[in-house]
A and B are shown apart, each in its own frame.
Chain A
Amino acid sequence: MAKAILVDTSRCIGCRGCQVACKQWHGLEAEPTTFRSGYENPKRLSEKTWRKVKFIEAATDDGAPRWHFLSDACKHCTEASCLAVCPTGALFRRPWGAVDLDQSVCNGCRYCVAACPYGVITFNPVTGRADKCILCPDRVEAGLEPACVTTCPTDALTFGERATLVARARERVAHLQARGMTGAQLYGERQLGGLHALYVLQDRPEVYGLPAAPRFATVGVFGGSVLSAITSVALGAVALVAFRRRGARREE
């Protein structure tokens, strides 16, 4: 049975308990930061930060402030580009849906980093391997919830059967719309064959930095999933360029 995590932004208070619980469970180090231009920190997801809360300041048409919080991490896509491009099988799917990562098999090629349509996979320069949220398989397969879900005080994050969560999310969207939040919508039900990280959003996905129609990266980019030695070198270059471009975009 497919499982999923549901992130309901309309219940999120931006406390970042999920962000810290993730670090605590996985033993991820703190990053040195400075207060830059808002509450959000660190700057981006990384090998030390697999989950972080985005703080998005917005305003209504009449100028009233809005402040959105989005607990962001790997979406565990059904059509997972990272999985498709991984040459070693380090990235693999758990039977219940999570895209896991076996560090001992990862060769550090970074295809996945380039291929991920959400930019949530990073290359760890210390270990020379990829890093990302793996949805706590050690906890889930022991009957627990992922660490981020367990710590969430408002149940903005819940975990369970995907079908149940989709139904609950639809109900919630209807509830929010009935209360006048006309922009409320469910994200992740259909994107990339269905994500295992579902989102109840209060506005368009773009407001949260989520692509409305993410694309399966191998289509048109890699042309297939069986790679020859030659194309892999070429793809390495493509990946590197894409990676640098993404970095440059983030700096802006």
Chain B
Amino acid sequence: MPGLGTSFGRGAMTNHWVDVKNADAILIMGSNAAENHPISFRWVEAARARGATLISVDPRFTRTSALADVYAPLRSGTDIVFLGGLINHVISNNLFHREYVVEYTNASFLLDPGFRFSEGYFSGWDPEKKVYDRATWKFQVDADGTPRQDKTLENPHTVFQHLRRHFSRYTPEMVEAVCGTPRADFLSVADAFARTGAPDRSGTIMYAMGWTQHSKATQLIRTAAILQMLLGNIGVAGGGVNALRGLANVQGSTDMALLFHLLPGYLGAPATKAHPTLAAYLDKETPKSGYWVNKPKFLVSLLRAWYGEAATRENGFAYEYLPKYSGSHSYLDLFEAMYAGRIRGLIVSGQNPAVSGPNSTLERKALEKLQWLVVRDLFETETAAFWKGPGVDPASVQTEVFLLPAAAHLEREGSYTNSGRWLQWKWKAVDPPGDARSDAWFANDLGRRLKALYAGSTAPRDRAVLALTWDYGEGEPDLEKVLAEINGYTVADRRPVKGFAALADDGSTACGNWIYSGVFPAEGQNRAKSRRADPPESLGLNAGWGFSWPANRRILYNRASADPQGRPWNPAKAVVWWNPDAELPDGKKGKWVGADVPDFRPDLAPHARGGGNPFIMRPDGKGAIFAALAEGPFPEHYEPVESPVENRLSQVQRNPLAVVYQADLDALGDARDFPIVATTYRLTEHLHTGSITRNLPWLVELMPDLFCEMSRELAAEKGIRNGDRVVVRSARGEVRAIAHVTGRLRPFRMGDRVVHQVGLPWHWGFMGLAKGDSANLLTPHVGDANTRIQESKAFLVDVRKA
């Protein structure tokens, strides 16, 4: 989540689920929380009962919109324009939280005089190489390296003035012309949300895949981050930019680095060229200021946890055993490599790429190029059965497929980390049937078998496997032992460390994931099992319920909930504050106290150096309104890679750094053949690829078939009636669906142009009780410039009656 990481310092939901109830305004955009995160509406409703305003911005009028006080439609792929319009509204009407912006963000910093934006590009664009030279993307600094500031924000070189000029183009008229949002609807949203710029009010933004699956998704999320900083909505109760994860443990999987470019705890994964040795890694990756100066402690402790006695000071703590990456190995890149025949085998666990992968035709073909494929699941998924899918001749497929039965979530124990960063232990309800095994059993067994296969080898290349610590028992591993290793311990006596502050870079401590440190602070004390809930009338921080990383802090950057002097902006929602009389263990006085654990050095007084820098993970401690990403330091709208219209904001049609794959099956369509915008989405009634839910009769009954939602106007143009069978076609493929003609979708009127949009849920596939075409047969292999997440939320199709 680099959009949040570059802005605030950590790529995670800033607040947590329960905290939504503290908001005065809730903007749900890029998310359909009522349908995809139904439980969240418990807290949305609690906020509304207190008088909060619920705002829904979505191309479709959804079940979320049905409950909203304010609804505004927008064409898929234009969110930056809408949010940019809000930024413009907030600045030009002077509705921003000035003191917060001046003190807690880099808005007052002066930019290099050479920095500029014109004709769709920032300074430094190299049209030949198609990359940016970032030489001018920097602050003016004094001799000692401190950035120059103008706290009046008047200097034309301030970040603030650049921001103001940049977004001055994003007027309500521009929003209407690009997003197709009626001006009045936009202004209703602007009015409702901008009120949270008052120091005693807070507004939250809830988003999900509707923002992340775009070719400029990271910049989109940056736009939201900038808006929330302008309104002073970060670090406060009822505020934040809250990423709603798509599954119960997605945050946990990110924290534990199920991403190619990361190690656990958001330590960057080492790369072949840049980081050949531990010294090179630490030298390059450790900043000079901010909390990340402690990075060497976290990495060395990780190496000690993984390689045990084999990790010594002399051998750089076995750093050489860590796999290094040599290029992008993102999801899309893996399937492109597979399709090109460069990958031999694949283990698929808890995923069903034959349905969930964009451009499924390519991804299913890619599976045919494998020598072997292992699928662990509850049912035979489309991925396991790709060799007998539509249009595939089983005789021509050489891939050997192993389908292993997996235990369901109620049949295994362990911890989940939810979107709000809470680790919660989950107990097993029933034993799995037959030979079905838990994920942990499988990983443990595979690890032990690999270790056995390598046993006795003296080849240097095998040392990495031999040195790996692996002592979790036989069969079903002891998961508390795993969690204790993740928490960390002192090597000498094997006693748990109390938190990450105790970690050292000399090899005396081991820790599997520094951000989880503190979850198991003493022998037998698993805080993920803690179940003390706060009373309903409280802020709902629930410090005694589970464990929240880091250090049980519930609201990130909560120093910003208090003013520069350390007094809460809103005493009724006080999170932490400075108490000058509170006594410290050493007898000195003054510390941060409150309902939450301060996300700040507890004894750093507001007036001390750095005492007003709430974003502790950033080198300068300030929220980054200006922050360099691949496409530039400010977000700018570009059209989706497939778009029916020309970019109104500049000559640059699409994100110049979007990743567009070029295999023979990676076709792109244009508006002449495919004039209709399409988006994909999920329904309450099915989960993801439906591998479980399409096998449950009660859920199949509710949502039996793939359908395509369209407006009455488009249906009339195409001669389609509600319930008709239709064919939806893109440059990549076609699907058959049932037409759902509804007043909940309306054509977008953008000046004199009318653009139609349709939507398809992506839950279906050719296996299970409820069969149907996969909407991902239509979506492209196009990736965001920073994350390479696919652009599934805005692409082009045509529709006809079947």
- Using a CB–CB cutoff of 8 Å, the interface residues on chain A facing chain B are 10-11, 13-17, 19-20, 23-24, 29-39, 41-42, 57, 59, 64-69, 153-155, 175, 179
Distance in angstroms between the alpha carbons of A59 and B744 in the assembled complex = 9
Asked if B723 is at the interface of the complex by the 8 Å CB criterion, the answer is yes
Indicate whether A23 sits within 8 Å of B722 (C-beta atoms), given known contacts A34-B705, A175-B49: no
CB distance from B706 to the nearest CB of A (A): 8
Contact of B700 among A30, A39, A69, A175 (CB under 8 A): A30
| A35 B740 Cβ-Cβ under 8 A | yes
Chain A residues near B684 (CB, 8 Å)?
13-16
How far apart are B660's CB and chain A's nearest CB, in angstroms? 34
Q: A20-B702, A32-B704, A67-B63 are in contact. List 12 more A-B contacts (CB 8 A).
A: A13-B38, A15-B34, A16-B684, A37-B722, A37-B740, A38-B742, A41-B704, A42-B701, A65-B744, A153-B42, A154-B41, A154-B45
Given A35-B707, A35-B740, A13-B35 contact (CB < 8 Å):
yes
Is A36 in contact with B723, judged by CB distance below 8 angstroms? yes
| Contact indicator B704/A65 (Cβ below 8 Å) | no
Closest residue of A by beta carbon distance from B721: A37
Residue B743 lies at the interface, judged by CB distance under 8 Å to chain A: yes
Q: Are B707 and A15 in contact (CB under 8 A)?
A: no
Is the pair B38, A17 in contact by a Cβ cutoff of 8 Å? yes
Confirm or deny: B113 has a beta carbon within 8 angstroms of a beta carbon on chain A. Answer: no
A14 to B42, CA, bound (A): 13
Contact assessment for A24 and B698 in the assembled complex, using a CB-CB cutoff below 8 Å: yes
Chain A positions within 8 Å of B480 at CB level: none
In the complex, which residues of chain A have a beta carbon less than 8 angstroms from the beta carbon of B700? 30, 33
Residue B479 CB within 8 A of the other chain: no
Cα–Cα distance between A179 and B50 once the two chains are bound (Å): 12
User: Quick check: B69 and A179 within 8 Å, CB to CB?
Assistant: yes
A-B contact count (CB 8 A): 99
With most chain B CB atoms within 10 A of its CB, the pick from A11, A13, A179 is: A13
A-binding residues in B (CB < 8 A):
34-35, 38-39, 41-42, 45, 49, 61, 63-67, 69, 71, 684-685, 697-707, 722-723, 738, 740, 742-744, 746
- The answer, among A14, A35, A57, A65, for a CB contact under 8 Å with B703, is A35
Whether the Cβ atoms of A154 and B38 lie closer than 8 Å is yes
The minimal Cβ–Cβ distance linking B763 to chain A, given in whole angstroms, is: 12
Give every chain B residue within 8 A of A179 (Cβ-Cβ): 69
Tell me whether A34 and B704 are in contact in the complex, defined as CB-CB below 8 angstroms, given that A16-B684, A154-B45 are known contacts: yes
In the bound complex, do residue A33 and residue B701 qualify as a contact, i.e. CB atoms below 8 Å apart?
A: yes
B744: which A residues are within 8 A, CB to CB? 57, 65, 67
Given contacts A33-B704, A153-B39, contact A66 B723 (CB under 8 A): no
Contact status A153-B703, CB under 8 Å: no
Which B residues are CB-close (under 8 A) to A19?
702
- Contact at A65–B42, with CB atoms within 8 Å? no
Nearest Cβ in chain B — how far from A181, in angstroms?
A: 9
A183 CB → nearest B CB, Å? 15
Q: Nearest chain-A residue to B696 (Cβ)?
A: A30
The chain A residue with its CB closest to the CB of B701 is A30
Which residue on chain B has the smallest CB distance to residue A66? B66
7 A-B pairs with the lowest CB-CB distances in the bound complex, closest first: A30-B697, A67-B66, A35-B705, A13-B34, A30-B701, A65-B61, A15-B38
Roughly how many angstroms separate A23 CA and B39 CA in the complex, as a whole number? 21
Q: Which residues of B contact A17 (CB under 8 A)?
A: 38
Q: Which of B699, B740, B743 contacts A59 (CB 8 A)?
A: B743
Closest to B746 in A: A65
B residues in contact with A16, CB < 8 Å: 684-685, 702
Name the residue on B nearest A59 (C-beta).
Answer: B743
Which of B34, B69, B701, B742 has the largest count of A CB atoms less than 10 A from its CB?
B701
Task: Provide the bound-state CA to CA distance between A34 and B701, in Å.
Answer: 8
Measured CB to CB, the nearest residue on chain B to A180 is B69
Contact (Cβ within 8 A) B45 A11 = yes
Question: What is the CB-to-nearest-CB distance from A46 to chain B, in angstroms, rounded to a whole number?
Answer: 11
